[in-house]
Amino acid sequence: MPRAKKSRNAKNVEETELADSPVSTARRRSRKDPTSSDSPHASANAERPTSGSAAQTPQIPSNVLQKLVAFSVVLLIAPILAYFLALHYVFAGSTTPAAITAAVTANIVLAAYVYAAWTEEEPSSADASDRSAKRKTD
């Protein structure tokens, strides 16, 4: 038995009826105002700090970010370079030892980063108090 095609108006009526269902109305309400008291996430949203509060966000020193970026670049380049150098000049086309060389190189770079982070100097308490005073004045 062939199905009759629905006209565009009939399809729009069905969509309107679905849009007015209690479930969709509740979803629309929760999307409109996530901080309303009926929302289950209202308390979580109220406790969340605003994005403008700079006093609560940690300040990462620029030398730490520079070190992270430098080690990331080395970690990207050094194993690939070690693989191809070992493949062409040391192991004469044998891929397994060249891959092992690349893995060892990656581990050496990671160990160097951990060592550099471990031996990094902590900011003195005077520097920390100067930074906190500067944040309060800003």
**43, amino acid identity:** S
> Whole-angstrom Cα distance, residue 32 to residue 38?
12
pTM over 0.95, yes/no: no
Q: What is the pLDDT of residues 5-57, one digit of tens each?
A: 555 555 555 555 555 566 555 555 555 555 555 555 555 555 555 555 556 78
Looking at per-residue confidence, does 17 or 92 come out higher? 92
With beta carbons less than 8 A apart as the criterion, state whether 91 and 97 touch: yes
**26, amino acid identity:** A
Q: Between the CA of residue 80 and those of 85, 87, 99, 103, what are the distances in Å?
A: 9, 11, 9, 9
